[in-house]
Structure 1
């Protein structure tokens, strides 16, 4: 029979031995683990089958939801290719288009932490499906605006309703998987953004042909149809979206206990039963690593959003028609998805993160350097976009997974994940003003800013690695006399916790 036993470094391994006497029996509400963290797999299943069951229930719904969220967020770039900014449409002269992009980030940054607290309080299926319906409805309204003010208003509310999507999903995934299992799941979920970019280009190329239908321009149909799709899917997701392991009705009592025990062996107790308080928020920000984690993501966001919002315009500058531009925007996103999944698989296999962050950021920096240095060779410049997309959108899930899975317990993970995403998205404001119409078609300031912030992300990742390694070495020499309750409250700050590097 197979059992988990905690290793010195915090990871769980399988041991073939009989466990000592259990503290409780499955289904009676008592955790199925003892002081040595042995846990028995439920009858009539195996660990692999149970993880597969979790995969099929948790990951697909979250991927589809975030794909639609990211699609509704960046489809304004596709709409702009179809003359949205023209004088006979919304007349977005000067930096008005950039302003419309940046206003999205104001509520998106401010309400990340409150959103994750509400997610835990109201249950994920209620909160996330409700937000999903509202940002789908806002996207439809975005297609009906008649002036610049209307566009700003809809972009503000789009940011408000999307604020809980990304950190909420990352938080939720982190409460289901052990740390060395998480990267592939995080990356597959995060790659919804690359799939949304690819899917958005294909969809926009088709929808753009509806220009003039029922008196609406093609760019309006992009918002209306994609927003309608989001609203329809949100109704189904109220019933399909996963909740926390403690509340999952699709798991048997035995399976719930096993999931809780395997996560406890890897990360310690989660304290899911206790509400998040103001003191929990204050205590999280006493940890310097939390601030470093925010800057790691902040540096990447500048390049990632710069690419997402402006790549269609950059590609159009190579001389393509609107339809050809949408189609040529697809391959770099597809390449980014493939590269990200390879990086995630190898990262999980080696149970290591830092080296892969360095690799991905290096690829992105090379691509940006090529765009800066190469002129009058559109094929090479187009090829460099593959490197930028692949590097940026592969590094981001590794950075977020690394940071989130090193936060122990519901409270620290809920607050810390929201902080990282919220603070990091301030970088979106910089990205929006890094690419201005007056700098087209070379966008020298935009590419230069991208390189600078990738380097910042690289340096802060190295600092985070050093801080985690130092804490691990320090704790190896520490003898803990804390109670289980005290360890639970400390989360990853417990002397028994070991950080993944």
Structure 2
């Protein structure tokens, strides 16, 4: 018995669950690249900040550039999830990574504000559909990758800054080139090695493959289910819980996107080190106990009080403590997505419910930049009070989903009835 099976997976499954698959490598790599790709606008000491002056990103221009990424991302999220149904996961995820890497590399050739907007739009189109919709313990790995990315992005950017002026390129241009290349290479590896289904995982024994398929349950997507069920799609969209989950996720993602707009990179990186421990601990314990709602509420309380402290307290020690709390937003997001995926069944409903929810929620990336206008600095109280209010409402919505579906929701095979209710 190894660490994974002893401490991470639920007790009743610890003897049978395989180690995480190559999806984890894919997710970790992508998370690191995305964190490097978007330095915080409030950072004036970042080596790559000359992009702001060279491309004339003054006033609201930077916020517009950041926000425009999410417009095509939101619009293409659901179609991309459907495309994954018709193409194999390995091919579609590889396509996302390769196209994302190519567009990122091309960003280095941008010389105008308009060109940067164009590249950001194509970047949003390329990335749509990447965010995973899985409720397994691997969510803890996904959460930790974000924290690790945040902790090391500043160091990597500093190292790359020494290339400033080499080959006639600025530091920010080298940054985009060097972060795009690994994505392309890993995308090729994903295409070749990522198994599409448990049945095609060559490293599993026949009995392990059979168990992996069985534990997915009769309501999970299958390798033979590639058709689009219009009736299921209509029922999913007409279900009020679809919109409740989307609204709740939107409120939480505003916290995720807003964090970089007032936290300097160095301070935020230290906060992510704390978040690594909190996120992994909360995700692992949630999956270990198969309980979601209490873990979501605890994390929302942790993050919400962080925003409250930042809005009213001037002491730097307390403010740093608050930043560390805010960096833990994913500790609420991961159990939330796991809870959502446990309440739906079938490939069409899963693609629509998760893809649609993620698409609508990521409009938070459009609104968040404008919650922190420069004239409200350095406290940015308006934005912080707004995010605090969002998290309070999200906590109320968590109570609603807890009442409707129950709190113990993590595995379709054990708890989804004919009406989709999870006990």
TM over 0.5: yes
Contact 1:70–1:193 under 8 Å retained in 2: no
Query: What corresponds to 1:310 in structure 2?
Result: 261
Is contact 2:140–2:284 with CA below 8 Å preserved after alignment?
no
Partner Cα separation in structure 2 for residue 76 and residue 134 of structure 1: 24
Pick one of 192, 195, 202 that aligns with 2:145. Answer: 192
Q: Secondary structure, in 3 states, of the residue corresponding to 2:344?
A: coil
**Matching of residue 64 in structure 1 with residue 16 in structure 2:** no
The correspondence for 2:209, drawn from 249, 256, 264, is: 256
1:306-353 Cα offsets, whole Å, 9 max, x none, are: 11x325xx32xxxxxxxxxx4443211121111011112222233211
Distance 1:271 1:231, change over 3 A: closer
Greater mean alpha carbon deviation, residues 254-263 or residues 445-454 = 254-263
2:412 aligned with 1:494: no
> Structure 1 residue 99 and structure 2 residue 64: aligned?
yes
Could you tell me how far apart the structure 2 residues matched to 1:297 and 1:366 are?
A: 18
Q: What is aligned with 2:307?
A: 368
Cα pair distance change 1:270/1:119, threshold 3 Å: closer
Tell me the distance in 2 between the aligned counterparts of 1:196 and 1:162: 18
Rounded to whole Å, the distance in 2 between the matches of 1:234 and 1:394 is: 28
1:498 and 1:340 map into 2 onto residues whose CA distance is: 27
- Correspondence 1:110 to 2:61: no
Structure 1 gaps, min length 5 = 1-11, 15-46, 175-181, 316-325, 473-487
CA distance in 2, matches of 1:189, 1:417: 16
**Match of 1:148?**
113
Post-superposition offset of 1:450 = 1.1
Alpha-carbon distance in structure 2 between the residues aligned to 1:62 and 1:456? 33
Q: Alignment partner for residue 239 of structure 2, among 287, 303, 306?
A: 287
Cα separation, 1, equivalents of 2:181 and 2:22? 24
1:49 Cα deviation after fit: 6.0
State the structure with bigger RCO (CA 8 A, min sep 6), 1 or 2: 2
Measure how far apart 1:253 and its partner are: 4.1
- Kindly provide the CA deviation profile for residues 239-276 of structure 1, in whole angstroms up to 9, marking residues without a partner as x: 23231224434434443322222222xx6464542312
8 Å contact 1:66–1:193 — kept in the other structure? no
Q: Does 1:161 align with 2:137?
A: no
Cα separation, partners in 2 of 1:459 and 1:233, compared to 1, 3 Å: same
Query: Structure 1, residues 5-48: CA drift from partner, whole Å, max 9, x if none?
Result: xxxxxxx996xxxxxxxxxxxxxxxxxxxxxxxxxxxxxxxx64
1:140-160 CA distance string (max 9 Å, x none): 122221010011011111111
Residue aligning to 2:320 = 382
The two structures have a TM-score, normalised by structure 1, of 0.75
In the other structure, the counterpart of 1:321 is none
* TM-superposed deviation, 1:139: 1.1
Q: Distance in 1 between matches of 2:303 and 2:200?
A: 41
Tell whether 2:252 aligns with 1:300: yes
> Match of 2:293?
354
Q: CA deviation at 1:73?
A: 4.8
CA contact (8 A) 2:343 2:405 kept: no
Mean Cα deviation higher: 354-363 or 58-67: 58-67
Structure number with larger C-alpha Rg: 1
Query: CA–CA distance in 1 between the matches of 2:246 and 2:148?
Result: 25
* TM-superposition CA deviations, 1:420-462 (whole Å, max 9, x none): 1111101111111112222222111221121121112111111
Residue 18 of structure 2 aligns to a residue whose secondary structure is: helix
Whole-Å separation in 2 of the counterparts to 1:206 and 1:141: 21
Matched with 2:281 is 342
**1:66 to 1:214, Cα distance in 2 relative to 1, 3 A:** closer
Residues 88 and 196 in structure 2, CA contact (< 8 A), matched pair in contact too: yes
Cα 1:127/1:86, change in 2 over 3 Å: closer
Distance of aligned partners of 1:50 and 1:70 in 2 relative to their CA distance in 1, 3 Å threshold: farther
**Corresponding pairs, count:** 408
TM-score w.r.t. length of structure 2: 0.88
* Residues 240, 304 of structure 1: alpha-carbon distance in 2 compared, 3 angstrom cutoff: same
Note closer, same or farther for the CA distance 1:48–1:346 as it changes in structure 2 (3 Å cut): closer
Distance 2:90 2:220 in 1: 23
Is 1:405 the counterpart of 2:329 in the alignment?
Answer: no
